[in-house]
Amino acid sequence: MIVERQVELRFTPESQAALTHVNLSAVRQDGRCLWVAGDETATVERLTAELDADGAVTGYGDQRTIPLADLVDLPAGPDEEADIEGLACADGWLWAVGSHSLKRKRIKEGHSDAKARKRLATVVREENRHILVRIPLTTGPDGLPQAVRADGDRTAAVLGGRGDSLTDLLADDPHLAPFLNIPGKDNGVDIEGIAAVGERLYIGFRGPVLRGWAVLVEIRPKTHPDDPGRLKLRRIDGDERYRTHFLDLGGLGIRDLCPDGDDLLILAGPTMALSGPVRVLRWRGAAKAAAPGIVHRSELDHLGDLPHGDGEDHAEGIAVLDESHGPGPTLLVVYDSPAAARLTPDGGIRADVVSFAR
């Protein structure tokens, strides 16, 4: 894929101090704005586009921070990170999903052998990671989208924290249950993408990858009838509350999802703590899939590869940009662990704008 240009994402000093700008994990366009999230906080951020005379985006700034705890009840409270790994925006709603992963302690420089071995044996579960959040969007006085706790009978709501998370849902799944007690970066359950198309939500799993096949789970959330601040899953095909789809991504996991009409764009990358390859693929007609799918590689369009570094520049989020200029559609790509060349002198970060084929 050809990188047409780069645009700067500008963050407040507070977000720079929290390292949000170098831990970007999700992005979605919403009119003139971008919704973005980092994986080290329990917030989502709104950035507003800056345009040139031809209508091309030159950068995003005027950051606004939305703490999730201001909108929904987080299982572990407002101070524990939620590890938000995916954002979706459709039909007046913003969706945010945590990684739902367990975490193995890292070995750090200077640790003794004994301490290093102990840390590698320590696995922790952080409850705020196991959430799916739905947020109503309204139009503010400035004409820009704003996240609110309630808009009439539309309410912010959360799934998770009461034995009802996506991982709880998968406790008896024949494919995924064996991976629920394995940390995400060890090929355990690790959610990193979400896309909303109509009433369907598609949840992309970085891991596990099963004999080279990546996992995508389809759900259809609704407001809980007994609590407007909670979500509940509609039944699909009778008694089931979810569908699993398996995609041949050549051994890679799903790093992000983005709708493009009835298609899904898939950002594919390594499931383990490795660098590259990173690819963008198209699953045509995904939003019309009527049954759990086995999607062969021949059914996926390979749109191209993205650049990656060695231990840096990990592509984590993609968003189709609606721009009035240029010969064709463009995709905005944001990176976790960015290379030094992506950092700007005033604390911003450079994202790539790439062309892609429809």
In a domain, 148, yes or no: yes
Q: Of 358, 125, 349, 342, which Cα lies nearest the Cα of 261?
A: 358
In a domain, 342, yes or no: no
In a domain, 133, yes or no: yes
Residue linked to tokens 């099963």: 210
Q: Is the pLDDT of residue 56 over 80?
A: no
In a domain, 348, yes or no: no
Residue 271's domain comprises 3-331
In a domain, 42, yes or no: yes
pLDDT at 357: 85
Residue 132's CB is within 10 A of a number of other CB atoms, namely 25
For 281-309, the pLDDT digits (tens) are: 999 999 988 888 999 999 999 999 998 88
Number of domain units in the chain: 1
In a domain, 356, yes or no: no
Q: Is the pLDDT of residue 64 over 90?
A: yes
pLDDT at 325: 62
pLDDT at 82: 94
Helices within 139-285 (DSSP H only): 166-169
DSSP per residue, 38-90: ETTSSEEEEEEEEE-TTS-EEEEEEEEEEEGGGTS--TT-TTS---EEEEEEE
pLDDT at 51: 84
Q: Please give the radius of gyration of the chain, using alpha carbons only, rounded to the nearest integer.
A: 19
Q: Is the pLDDT of residue 11 over 80?
A: yes
pLDDT band at 322 (very low <50, low <70, confident <90, very high): confident
Residue 113 parent element (H or E)? helix 113-120
In a domain, 347, yes or no: no
Q: Of 49, 16, 39, 307, which Cα lies nearest the Cα of 192?
A: 39
Alpha carbons 246 and 178: distance in angstroms, whole number: 16
Q: Mean pLDDT throughout 258-279?
A: 92
DSSP assignment letter at 165: S
140, two tokens: 């503010």
Q: Which residue has the higher pLDDT, 38 or 324?
A: 38
In a domain, 55, yes or no: yes
For 163-192, the pLDDT digits (tens) are: 999 999 999 999 999 999 999 999 999 999
Q: Is the pLDDT of residue 266 over 80?
A: yes
pLDDT at 327: 63
Alpha carbons 219 and 242: distance in angstroms, whole number: 5
pLDDT above 90 covers a percentage of the chain that reads: 82
Q: Which residue has the higher pLDDT, 327 or 11?
A: 11
Q: Of 292, 293, 39, 21, which Cα lies nearest the Cα of 185?
A: 39
pLDDT at 276: 81
Q: Of 354, 276, 263, 356, which Cα lies nearest the Cα of 315?
A: 276
pTM over 0.85: yes
